[in-house]
Homo-oligomer: A and B are copies of this chain.
Amino acid sequence: MTRIAACQLAPVPDDLAATAELTGDAVREAISEGADLVVLPALVTTGGVLSDPEAARAVAIAPGHGVFAAWAAACTARHGAVVVGGFCEAGDDGQLYNSAAVVDATGVRAVYRCAHLWDRERLVFAAGSAAPPVVETLHGRVGVVINYDLRFPEWTRTAALGGADVLAVPVAWPDAQPGEGGGPDGQLVAAATARLDRVAVVCADRSGPGWTGGSCVLSAGGQLLAAAGQGRSAAWADIDPEASRDKVVSGLSDLWLDRRPELYDRVTAPRS
């Protein structure tokens, strides 16, 4: 079994150092309490909503930044521990990305750049074009997508078909859009993703004013195993990564074998 902590944090606006301390503490604490996989929110290394490119550039960091070294150091306390958390990436191409790092005791294992940017994020970030990574770990294969990516089943499918046992999803679900934001709504999409792809799904949301505190862990069957809610610091649950590898849902029914990709390829542009 893999013990998961979806840590809900409220980053300190525009203060990289204070937020690095916050995330480092959260990761250390979660691992000391038994977490094998710790998931942190989207853009957790920075505060604010980053709707302004200049403000974002001021808090952008590269994968070599010390905050990831601190997460890696925390991972040494537990064999095979893994952390997935979002950050504002200063790309080597000069662009900014809404990214997530997969970190273990050996350092940064993978960086994923969000491919579907929410609302005004597109005014700040470039969209990634690489497929979601699926990282082999001692606690299962960890796939990563970010936030609004979750609304695109083609994309989460990519991670699941890539072999993910658990999908780690740093999110930031605003509470300002009833029916469109996070919390129960985001959790519905997360549950659907889990059920349709038969993968465990972990969403780590921000906490505090403006955010839904919707952090949650879903089983590979789509059952809500844990939800944090406002005022709680984490959602905890145990999942069985092996369960995600069995795509049989009835005697002869296998969600992977029953796909018909030769038919799906036709789908490209919507009808207006």
Residues of A whose CB lies within 8 Å of any CB of B are 115-120, 122-123, 127, 129, 131, 134, 148, 151-155, 157-158, 160-163, 177, 179-180, 185, 188-189, 191-193, 195-196, 221-223, 247, 249-253, 255-256, 258-261, 263-271
Q: Whose C-beta in chain B lies nearest to the C-beta of A177?
A: B250
Given contacts A189-B192, A195-B189, A196-B189, contact A152 B253 (CB under 8 A): no
Contacts of A179 in B (CB 8 A): 221, 223
By a CB distance below 8 angstroms, the chain B residues around A119 are: 250-253
A160 to chain B: closest residue by CB = B270
A267 to B258, CA, bound (A): 15
6 tightest CB-CB pairs across the interface, nearest first? A192-B192, A153-B153, A163-B271, A154-B264, A161-B270, A119-B250
CB pair B255–A261 under 8 Å, yes or no, is no
Chain B, residue nearest A141 (CB): B271
Q: With A and B bound together, what is the CA distance between A153 and B197 in angstroms?
A: 9
Q: How far is the CB of A115 from chain B (nearest CB, A)?
A: 6
A100 vs B132: C-alpha distance when bound (angstroms): 37
A122 CB contacts on chain B under 8 angstroms: 252
Measured CA separation A180–B222 after assembly (Å)? 10
Q: Which residue of chain B has its CB nearest to the CB of A130?
A: B263
A179 to B129, CA, bound (A): 35
Question: Nearest residue in B to A221 (C-beta to C-beta)?
Answer: B179
Partner of A188, one of B157, B222, B260, B267: B222
Indicate if the CB atoms of B118 and A253 lie closer than 8 Å: yes
- Residue in chain B with minimal CB distance to A152: B259
Return chain B residues, CB-CB under 8 Å to A189: 192, 195-196
Nearest-neighbour CB distance to chain B for A96, whole angstroms, equals 17
Residues on B with beta carbons closer than 8 Å to the beta carbon of A157: 153-154, 267
**Interface contact B129-A271, CB-CB below 8 Å:** no
Given contacts A120-B251, A250-B180, are A260 and B162 in contact (CB under 8 A)? no
Q: Judging by beta carbons under 8 Å apart, are A266 and B153 in contact?
A: no
A153-B157, A155-B264, A161-B267 known; 9 other A-B pairs, CB under 8 Å?
Answer: A119-B253, A134-B271, A154-B154, A154-B267, A155-B263, A179-B223, A180-B221, A189-B196, A192-B196
List the B residue with the shortest CB-CB distance to A176: B250
23 A-B pairs, CB-CB below 8 angstroms? Answer: A116-B260, A120-B251, A123-B252, A127-B260, A129-B263, A151-B249, A152-B259, A153-B196, A155-B263, A155-B264, A158-B263, A161-B267, A161-B269, A179-B221, A179-B223, A180-B250, A188-B191, A188-B195, A188-B222, A189-B195, A189-B196, A259-B270, A261-B268
